[in-house]
């Protein structure tokens, strides 16, 4: 049985500050402390390999874990956060155009094929999440740690539960109903012999944050 440990990155400047984050947004001082705490927990796990999103906040989190575990790492765009519309990226959170875009995207996320402009919509995210799960299932390692992001992780877990039958409505409800903390740990298992090969064992374990 394969085990996949998903970890959300530490608190970023975009999480805590007034500017919507970009691919190069860094961790806050609090986020770096969170990464150190989760790295200590990861040192106690049986990990064969680490995969990290290529976004700066995820890479900085992964670096703390790598330093503590000395495990090999692979950086992959498969596990980056969802791509937001150009109108939003790097803008102030009170920017009226950004607010309009976020509101409309939240209200219409479940609509198949709909998109505000050039962002990843539900169909795009579902396709990428299913590809990420296939990639993890096909890797030879038995214990893999993935450093990723809040929205994309929830879409991926929803795909693990519902498979390719996941609808936009189900995914939207899943994202809203399953919050997660920065550096929270979620554990999935994969057993190809089972009718439902993916199973969720742990959700958002953040005991290391006190």
Mean pLDDT of 53-59: 98
Mean pLDDT of 30-47: 97
Which tens digit of pLDDT belongs to each residue from 160-205? 999 999 999 999 999 999 999 999 999 999 999 999 999 999 999 9
pTM of the model: 0.96
CB-based contacts of 18: which residues, under 8 Å, 6+ apart?
A: 92, 93, 94
Residue 210: pLDDT over 90: no
CA–CA separation, 83 and 27 (whole Å) = 19
CA–CA separation, 167 and 152 (whole Å) = 15
Confidence category of residue 153, pLDDT binned at 50, 70, 90: very high
Residue 135: pLDDT over 90: yes
Going along the chain from its start, the domains and CATH numbers come out as 2-83+121-209 (3.40.50.1240)
Average pLDDT of the chain to the nearest whole number: 96
Residue 62: pLDDT over 90: yes
Mean pLDDT of 93-111: 93
Q: Is 117 left (phi over 0), alpha (psi -120 to 50) or beta?
A: alpha
Which tens digit of pLDDT belongs to each residue from 9-26? 999 999 999 999 999 999
CA distances from 36 to 26, 45, 66 (A): 15, 15, 11
Q: Is 203 left (phi over 0), alpha (psi -120 to 50) or beta?
A: beta
Contact (Cβ atoms closer than 8 angstroms) between residue 135 and residue 78? yes
Residue 207: pLDDT over 90: yes
Helix axes 29-42, 56-69, angle to 10 degrees: 40
């Amino acid at each position: 049985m394969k085990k996949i440990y998903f970890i959300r990155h530490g608190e970023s400047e975009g999480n805590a500050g007034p500017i919507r984050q970009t691919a190069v947004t860094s961790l806050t001082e609090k986020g770096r402390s969170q990464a150190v705490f989760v790295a200590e927990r990861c040192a106690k796990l049986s990990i064969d390999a680490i995969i990290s999103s290529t976004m700066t906040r995820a890479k900085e989190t992964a670096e703390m874990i790598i330093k503590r575990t000395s495990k090999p790492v692979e950086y992959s765009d498969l596990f980056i956060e969802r791509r937001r519309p150009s109108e939003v990226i790097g803008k102030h959170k009170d920017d009226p155009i950004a607010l309009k875009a976020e509101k409309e995207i939240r209200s219409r996320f479940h609509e198949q094929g709909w998109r505000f402009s050039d962002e990843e919509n539900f169909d795009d995210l579902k396709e990428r999440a299913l590809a990420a799960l296939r990639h993890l299932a096909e890797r030879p390692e038995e214990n893999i740690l993935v450093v990723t992001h809040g929205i994309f992780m929830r879409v991926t877990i929803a795909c693990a539960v519902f498979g390719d039958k996941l609808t936009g409505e189900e995914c939207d409800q899943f994202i809203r109903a399953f919050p997660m903390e920065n550096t929270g740990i979620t554990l999935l298992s994969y057993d190809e012999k089972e009718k439902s090969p993916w199973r969720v064992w742990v959700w958002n374990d953040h005991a290391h944050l006190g």
